[in-house]
Amino acid sequence: MDTILATEDLTKEFLGFTAVSGVSLNVRRGSIHGLIGPNGAGKTTCFNLLTKFLQPTRGSIRFDGRDITGMKPAEVARLGLVRSFQISAVFPHLTVLENVRVALQRARGRSFDFWRSDKVLGQYDARARALLEDVGLHTHAHLLAGELPYGRKRALEIATTLALDPVMMLLDEPTAGMTHEDVDRIVALVRRVAQGRTVLMVEHNLRVVEGLCDTITVLTRGRVLAEGDYAGVSRNPEVVAAYLGTDPAISGAQAHG
């Protein structure tokens, strides 16, 4: 098995509170890996550790054969491990097109050119439009990103991330707070962009997880409770116990699965 991202004994303590405790995670190259668990299980902390927005108290992280434990977040992104955020991360006062262009600019250069007119960024327009078309936003290119409806912001975020052509994408709750219609669109989008990449996603909507993820890791109280495919994990009595009462969806899934 070809592992692209591996953590060993990953631990994060905040002033006596252990948010993530001894997590050893292995993400297979080319897979869509789901990270689920009740609220406060440490999923987002885990994401922040993996992308170096937080420094782990203990443990190590390897990405694509390289130890990234001591790296800075921007360096990790440059290696091709690019994250999204739980609260939609767009640049609200930039247009939709400019949002994508900012990412292209980083990947392709010119980001320090202070003496040139920003009209030279027009050279990235064609690529930016193609990426927007990919996520169905090409007709919105000239709107300010802050004016997009929520679901479209998530799509824009994915287009911006794709502009970097990342090896691996980390998506933090890509369908949170979305209408059914938007959820379906994002699921289709994630499945499409996952071609040739690895995706690790935190997701609350278990129907999405069931439909998308090859492997699922269940976290509770900062620890790995179970790991496997959806069918296996959802039959695990410990998982059911952890979820029961907090999220009826999994017990429902358990009943018909």
How far apart CA 144 and CA 135 sit, in angstroms, is 17
Nearest CB to other proteins, comparing residues 106 and 223: 106
Residue 39 CB partners (closer than 8 Å, separation 6+): 246
Q: Is 216:227 a contact under the CB 8 Å cutoff?
A: yes
Q: Which is nearer to other proteins, 120 or 130 (CB)?
A: 120
DSSP conformational letter for 68 = -
DSSP class of 182: H
CA atoms within 13 A on the CB side of 142: 0
Hey, what are 50's tokens? Answer: 């993996």
Note whether 120 binds other proteins by CB under 8 A: yes
Nearest distance in Å: CB 36, other proteins:
22
| 180 scored as a contact of other proteins (CB under 8 A) | no
How many chain residues touch other proteins (CB under 8 A)? 46
The rounded distance, in Å, linking the Cα atoms of 60 and 8 is 5
Residue from 6, 94, 167, 249 in contact with other proteins (CB under 8 A)? 94
Residue 13 interacting with other proteins (CB under 8 A): no
Q: Which residues 6+ apart lie within 8 Å of 91 measured at CB?
A: 98, 99, 102, 145
- Min separation Cβ 135 and other proteins, Å: 16
- The window from 56-64, 112-120, 207-215, 245-253 that contacts other proteins (CB under 8 A) reads 112-120
Q: Which residues bind other proteins (CB under 8 A)?
A: 51, 53, 72-75, 77-78, 82-85, 89-95, 98, 101-103, 105-107, 110-121, 142-144, 146-147, 160-161, 164
